[in-house]
């Protein structure tokens, strides 16, 4: 199972989410205050994730410690 820290945070907050895994990459879709968000891992020589957590409707690729970057962003939503 991938994206474990993000899943743990979503469970802690009791936010419903859907986790899937394909080709060794994790994918999480969830809603917060009526807005749909996603975190989709990819591997293209380096690990990264496509997400819209920073800009709601705009997708962005994050390379490196993407799970930490994403968690930092959504922890600031409260």
Confidence bin at 78 (pLDDT 50/70/90): confident
Q: What is the pLDDT of residue 51?
A: 97
Quick: pLDDT tens for 24-69.
999 999 999 999 999 999 999 999 999 999 987 799 999 999 999 9
d(CA 54, CA 14): 21
This model's pTM is above 0.85 = yes
Q: What is the pLDDT of residue 70?
A: 97
Q: Could you state, in order of their start, the residue ranges of all structural domains in the chain?
A: 4-70
The number of beta carbons lying within 10 Å of the beta carbon of residue 1 is 7
Residue for token pair 């879709």: 29
d(CA 31, CA 25): 20
């Amino acid at each position: 199972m991938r994206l474990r820290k993000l899943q743990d945070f979503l469970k802690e907050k009791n936010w419903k989410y859907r986790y899937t895994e394909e080709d060794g990459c994790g994918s999480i879709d969830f809603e917060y205050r009526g807005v749909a968000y996603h975190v989709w891992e990819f591997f293209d020589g380096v690990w990264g994730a496509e997400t819209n957590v920073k800009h709601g409707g705009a997708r962005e690729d994050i390379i490196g410690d993407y799970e930490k970057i994403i968690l930092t962003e959504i922890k600031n939503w409260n």
